[in-house]
Structure 1
């Protein structure tokens, strides 16, 4: 496999984004920023070790949140998902539009949700 994760984010699906913003900004003193690209806005903040925390307001089932999302930093998300599928990995959500780019979701062997995210500025495939 050609993909080796270099960075990751923890993504939470929350029922009330404003309540979440207040809790993390005021109670935990984390600096979460409002981001555009999803309705309603979504929140993103970075811990001192470089790990991103991301919050979307949406329904989530037990086990679907939080999820670790690996950033694809050199393009080729379609190729990576195809390689995962060929290796027998369960693809939950094929490559689809996401705020600022493309994403896909898959399961590890124990059924934990993992994801990929790639900037829309990068090519979806590196194969000619």
Structure 2
């Protein structure tokens, strides 16, 4: 993920799909849509459709019928985490580091899981 500016703050920035086979997902989306890919180890691959970036991972369960992880960017990760909690969200994965930044996951009031990330 690239460094973001203030105009990206609190906007949808990334979408992740949990997949059973990353190589198969790359083959499908590359063939069907011409997406480009960057591998970050054996368990994660970023895709680029030319407008939006996202990722394929095998870290979580496959969600048949939909359910990609929507990722929001934040200039101040701790401030947004506090804002999510104050709004009634539940933190389901605390702030953790990853190559390029930090992130946390939360459940909204209806149980939808989203993530928020900030550049390193």
The reply to whether residue 33 of structure 1 matches residue 34 of structure 2 is no
CA RMSD of aligned residues (A): 2.4
Give the match's secondary structure for 2:33. Answer: coil
Specify the alignment match of 2:5 in structure 1. Answer: none
* TM-score for the superposition, normalised by structure 2: 0.77
Give the match's secondary structure for 1:117. Answer: strand
Specify the alignment match of 1:52 in structure 2. Answer: 53
**Structure 1: which 5+ runs fail to align?**
121-128
Q: CA deviation at 1:69?
A: 0.3
Specify the alignment match of 2:21 in structure 1. Answer: 16
Give the match's secondary structure for 2:42. Answer: coil
- 1:15–1:59 CA contact under 8 A, matched in 2: no
Question: Structure 1's 61 and 33: CA in aligned 2 closer, same or farther, altered over 3 A?
Answer: closer
Q: Which has the larger radius of gyration?
A: 1
Alpha-carbon distance in structure 1 between the residues aligned to 2:18 and 2:52:
17
**Structure 2: which 5+ runs fail to align?**
1-7
